[in-house]
Structure 1
Amino acid sequence: MLLSELLEGLTFNVTAGNSGNTVNPADVEIKDVVNDNRKITEGSLFLCIQGANFDGHSCAAEAAEKKAGAIVVCHDVELPEGCEMPVVRVEDTRYAMAFISAAYFGHPAKKLKTIGITGTKGKTTTTYLIRDMLQNAGHKVGLIGTIEVIIGDEHIHAENTTPESYMLQYYMSKMVEAGCDSVVMEVSSQGLMLHRSQGFVFDMGIFTNIEPDHIGPNEHKDFEDYMHCKGLLFKQCKVGICNADDPHTEDILEGHTCEVEKYGFSEGADIRAINLAYIHKPGQLGVFFDTDGLINMHAEIRTPGKFSVYNALCAIAVARHFGCTPEEIAPALKEAKVKGRIEMVKVSDDFTLMIDYAHNAMALKSLLTTLKDYHPNRLICLFGCGGNRSRYRRFEMGEVSGKYADFTVITSDNPRFEEPEAIIDDIETGMKKTDGKYIKITDRKEAIRYVIENGEKGDIIVLAGKGHEDYQEIKGVKYHMDERELIQEILDEQ
């Protein structure tokens, strides 16, 4: 492939080594594109990416020694004397990588309907809802998100919510090869900030909601920066589908370049939920509602609360753009399930038990207040906190559970290099700011056994924090641990 084809759409200049002599990119043949110095081969294009701990620019001389076809840089680099290797100078190598990767893989996004979802909560659940709904209507849909990447029948474990642009373009190219006609993906604020989703225009961009999160070192400097990065999606999509009820929606849409439609409960929503009714049966929590506006239908979802309605409304709005009918949408909504997101696990006819990924105070408060609306006999919350992370999260989660749950079981999560008991003590500090009742059981399996054996008629029990994770990280080692398996073991041992 010619270097000129890879650089299409970018502002750049190309010189021969450090000589300053101009090189015509149409004269340079490229055999591969890499951003890992260990993968540099003769004739490859090496992208010098600056990360949190390593700067690829330091490998420029190595690229020359390995006879790379060219390198892409955004600042001066040291090269061997007399080196004539073409050096492509751009303003931002991460931004350039997105466009170069798109060209290298044949612009796969142009062959797919692309749906990008951003927001603090609801991204994962909504991606699966949309995928299930579209597949129910006969589409073949790829998925890229926090839990996994799905390409046809292949499920690939996800490392980041939004992969680096090279891998994103690679995955989309594989989806095209597998016969997918569309892709739905989570687009994180980090992904937007680091240009991972650049190189193409989304057909639809979605905003679920926003609250302060991911603010700190190596993330966002403040809430305004977090909102700004979320808003970048709406300068990179054709249609924006947004939560009408979120107080920050207009801030997110500032400077948008897309058409906008909104969903929610408020009068101004283009698709509005009305006639809300809660479903509460043993082992099942859900919601009935109708929609009014751009589409009129009756819906049932088997996950609880208003936030589940928001996720469903968003999925309905997307499905409408694909021409899906209410008859195709309704059964997909009813059957949709997401591993580790308000995942019901049947253990008794007397009480309801669920697994959820809520792993910070904001998510836990949202979940517990939602479940309170179902008027359980007791709301029981089992959770721990990760080691080598902010201690404030532990204090906050302890305080939230103490305030909103009727009984809390404090246990271990991923202690990493900390002692589980020290983490539990920090959670207890937050608990003691409330009148909440609690018990401490370090071993997570024994903690789960306790809540199952002591469950009462009408209780709702939440196992929070692990969600889809199937491991526990201790002293740098990930040990297999799936809460679904632990529950089954406990039931078999009874």
Structure 2
Amino acid sequence: MSLHESGGTRLIELAKLLERVDYQCIQGDINIQVDKIIYDSRKVEQNSLFFCVPGTVVDGHKFANDAIGKGATVLVVEREITVFSPAVIIKVDNVRKAMAVISAAYFDYPADKLKVIGVTGTKGKTTTTYMVKSILESAGHKVGLIGTIEAIIGDKVIPANNTTPESFIVQQYFRRMIEEGCNIAVMEVSSQGLMMHRVDGFTFEFGIFTNIEPDHIGPNEHESFEEYMACKGLLFLQCKRGIVNIDDKHALDVLKGHTCLVETFGFSEKADLRAANTQLVSRPGYLGVAYQVSGLMNFEVEIDVPGKFSVYNSLTAIAICRHFNVKTDIIREALKTAQVKGRIEMVKVSDEFTLMIDYAHNAMSLESLLTTLKDYNPKRLVCLFGCGGNRSKLRRYEMGEVSGKFSDLTIITSDNPRDEEPQEIINDIKIGIGKTSGKYIEIINRKEAIAYVIDNGKPGDVIVLAGKGHEDYQEIKGIKYPMDERIIIQDILEERKSR
């Protein structure tokens, strides 16, 4: 295990760490060495540098003296503090931004040795990054991935806590990628990640915009849709080339003030890379889509995932991989093998109907999914979902209304109730579904709800288990209990066999 992989001590000159930072040394001397850089006061060690990060809930400046007591010799702050020791105090305008730049220096600027691809947008980030990884690895590149579900570095898979990790973790992952022989990194870049400077300190080779709709607006997220768009747009101040979905009505707003070269993709005739002649492909147990790539490249492709958004995701991946001179036959084959856990993930349970798991957990993504599946003319479209506790009630009303409008039958169940009562969440969903004429039943226990749709599936049905996707837990009262829908389905099938 390498030093950077273990997160171990790395003796380094403070002046070296600060070489790309605008700062004032308001106490002490920068001509010293530190062993570690740390942003969590609980993990402070001897001879470490501690970032006093101002959080949404807790301000790291409050822990300055605690950090010194544990052995921190350098503090990075953005406001005046009173400390009772001769620690070196570095004042900056923004601690989060400085942390990103200092972390890059600490790991010896690993992004400079990689071609980093950043994908931002409301929908499509996860699937697009996996498609890019599949294509480029099929072409002989070694690709690291950072995303909503996990980080993948060589043979190691690291579960994710945030779509875009803290800047220290991002830089640590980049360093591990270098040590594993990667030459490309592809990552999801969230609006919050951009707003909170988690991807500062380096330049993206490519910045990608998939689409944008109102989401992540509310307490501890974005104050408005305008702020949300502006944060997405920060990526295009930090990349060499922007690749943008020109069909999105807000594309030019997101690009406002950009400093990169720009090219476009989409269905529009104005797009540099276009999808044309789209055809739905349906066979027993199979839903897919085929189309013609035209413009900057010209070839036919078929994707083993249904719908228009699958065209967008794959076209985005093609637009990126074109710059790595990947042959069209490699692109075609790689797109067929790129499967993302919990993103329209087909699970075989019957020869008569189709069942899939999808992460759709807001009204926009659920409507996109259901309208896509409607186009395949299923006998019935059955949607099973719940909503998370401690979250906006509006999302519950909207998802209920969407499912009632587009599904032939809705099964309302529990998701992650967190600190709320599951029945109260279900009651909110029913308010939304009550605005429609959609049929529904409620089964509060999610396993029982899944058993119901399997036992009552009819020939030609398409059944969607929405909301959980890749998650393998259910959060109740602060505890995460194991719950993987794939395992639940297999358990149900085994129970039916033994009857």
Match of 1:161 in 2: 163
Q: Does 1:467 align with 2:469?
A: yes
CA distance in 1, matches of 2:71, 2:445: 54
How far residue 60 of structure 1 moved from its aligned partner, in angstroms, is 2.1
Q: Does 1:13 align with 2:24?
A: yes
Q: 2:57 aligns with which of 49, 53, 74?
A: 53
Q: 2:264 aligns with which of 262, 265, 274?
A: 262
CA distance in 1, matches of 2:298, 2:252: 26
CA distance in 2, matches of 1:127, 1:297: 21
CA offsets, 1:409-446, max 9 Å, x none?
11111112222222112111211111001111111111
**Equivalent pair of 1:28/1:69 in contact (CA under 8 Å):** no
Q: Does 1:35 align with 2:39?
A: yes
> If the length of structure 1 is used for normalisation, what is the TM-score?
0.96
Give the total of aligned pairs: 485
**Equivalent pair of 1:34/1:46 in contact (CA under 8 Å):** yes
**Equivalent pair of 2:240/2:260 in contact (CA under 8 Å):** yes
**Equivalent pair of 1:29/1:69 in contact (CA under 8 Å):** no
Q: 1:289 aligns with which of 275, 291, 307?
A: 291
CA offsets, 1:107-132, max 9 Å, x none?
11011110000000000111111111
> If the length of structure 2 is used for normalisation, what is the TM-score?
0.95
- Please list, as runs of the form range in 1=range in 2, the aligned pairs for 1:416-435 lying within 5 A after superposition: 416-435=418-437
The one-letter code matched in structure 2 to 1:476 is: G
CA offsets, 1:294-350, max 9 Å, x none?
111111101111111000000001111111110111001112110000101111121
How far residue 208 of structure 1 moved from its aligned partner, in angstroms, is 0.3
CA distance in 2, matches of 1:208, 1:274: 18
Match of 1:377 in 2: 379
CA distance in 1, matches of 2:226, 2:347: 39
Q: 2:316 aligns with which of 314, 317, 324?
A: 314
- The gaps in structure 2 that reach 5 residues or longer are 1-11
**Equivalent pair of 1:361/1:396 in contact (CA under 8 Å):** yes
Q: Does 1:217 align with 2:219?
A: yes
CA distance in 2, matches of 1:197, 1:67: 28
In terms of mean alpha carbon deviation, does 35-44 or 288-297 score higher? 35-44
Match of 1:202 in 2: 204
Secondary structure of the residue aligned to 1:69 is strand
Match of 2:7 in 1: none
CA offsets, 1:245-283, max 9 Å, x none?
000000011111111111110001111011111011222
How far residue 67 of structure 1 moved from its aligned partner, in angstroms, is 4.2
Q: Does 1:77 align with 2:88?
A: no
CA distance in 2, matches of 1:70, 1:474: 40
**Equivalent pair of 1:265/1:272 in contact (CA under 8 Å):** yes
How far residue 163 of structure 1 moved from its aligned partner, in angstroms, is 0.3
**Equivalent pair of 1:119/1:209 in contact (CA under 8 Å):** yes
In terms of mean alpha carbon deviation, does 420-429 or 137-146 score higher? 420-429
CA distance in 1, matches of 2:491, 2:46: 54
- The gaps in structure 1 that reach 5 residues or longer are 18-22
Secondary structure of the residue aligned to 1:472 is strand
Secondary structure of the residue aligned to 2:33 is coil
Match of 2:327 in 1: 325
CA distance in 2, matches of 1:455, 1:323: 46
> Quick one: percent identity of the two aligned structures?
62
Secondary structure of the residue aligned to 2:72 is coil
Q: 1:360 aligns with which of 335, 352, 362?
A: 362
CA distance in 2, matches of 1:174, 1:143: 11
CA distance in 1, matches of 2:43, 2:344: 41
**Equivalent pair of 2:27/2:90 in contact (CA under 8 Å):** no
CA distance in 1, matches of 2:74, 2:46: 10
Q: 2:67 aligns with which of 63, 71, 94?
A: 63
CA distance in 2, matches of 1:315, 1:448: 33
Secondary structure of the residue aligned to 2:243 is strand
